[in-house]
Structure 1
Amino acid sequence: MTLPAEAADALQTFQSAAGWEQRARLLMQFGDHLPALSETDKCEANRVHGCESLVWLVGELRDGHWQFAASSDARMIRGLVALLLLRVNGLSAAALRQVDLPDWFNQLGLSRQLSPSRSNGLNAVLTRMNELAK
Structure 2
Amino acid sequence: MLPPINTIIENFEFIEDWEERYRYVIELGRALPPLPDELHSEANKVQGCASQVWLDLGLDRSEGEPRLRLRGDSDAHIVRGLVALMIALFDGKTPREAAGTDAFALYAKLGLAEHLTPQRSNGVRAMADRIHRDAVRLAA
- Normalization by structure 2: what TM-score? 0.86
If asked which structure has higher relative contact order (CA below 8 Å, sep 6+), I would say: 1
In the other structure, the counterpart of 1:16 is 14
8 Å Cα contact 1:57-1:69 kept in structure 2: yes
Does the residue aligned with 1:95 lie in a helix, a strand or coil?
Answer: helix
Match of 2:84 in 1: 82
Deviation per CA, 1:40-74, whole angstroms, max 9, x where unpaired?
11011111111111001101111311011010001
Give, in whole Å, the separation in 2 of the partners of 1:121 and 1:18: 24
Structure 1 residues not aligned, in runs of 5+? none
Percent identity at matched positions? 33
Aligned AA (1:94): R
Compute the displacement of 1:113 (Å). Answer: 2.6
Return structure 1 stretches of 4+ with deviation > 3 angstroms. none
Among residues 100, 114, 117, which one is paired with 2:116 in the alignment? 114
Secondary structure, counterpart of 1:102 in structure 2: helix
**Shift of residue 131 of structure 1?**
2.4
1:22-41 map, 5 Å: 22-41=20-39
Aligned twin of 1:91: 93
Q: Distance in 2 between matches of 1:22 and 1:36?
A: 24
> What is the 5 A alignment of 1:45-56?
45-56=43-54
CA RMSD in angstroms comes to 1.4
In the alignment, the residues of structure 2 paired with residue 120 and residue 91 of structure 1 have an alpha-carbon distance, to the nearest angstrom, of 24
CA–CA separation in structure 1 for the residues paired with 2:14 and 2:38: 38
Structure 2 unaligned regions, length at least 5? none
Task: Give 1:132 shift.
Answer: 2.1
Say whether the 8 Å CA contact 1:15–1:109 is kept in structure 2.
Answer: no
